[in-house]
Amino acid sequence: MSGRDQIPETAEKFAGKVESVVMSIQAVME
C-alpha cells in the first residue's frame, strides 16, 4: 500500500507541469 503515499507527490508534479504548459500557452496567445 506504499504506492498510495506517492500519489500526492505525483499529482503535485503533474500540476506543476500543467501550470507551466498553461503559462506557455498564455504567453503565445498574448
Q: DSSP string of 1-30?
A: -THHHHHHHHHHHHHHHHHHHHHHHHHHH-
CA 15 – CA 8 distance, rounded (Å): 10
In which band, very low, low, confident or very high, does the pLDDT at 4 lie, cut at 50, 70 and 90?
A: low
Summary mean pLDDT of the chain: 86
Q: 5: which 3 cell numbers?
A: 503515499
What is the total residue count of the chain?
A: 30
Eight-class DSSP state of 10? H
- 15 pLDDT exceeds 60? yes
pTM: 0.55
Q: What percent of the chain clears pLDDT 90, i.e. is strictly above it?
A: 57
Cβ atoms within 10 A of the Cβ of 23, count?
A: 10
| For the chain, domain boundaries | 1-30
Rounded-to-integer distance, Cα 12 and Cα 30, Å: 27
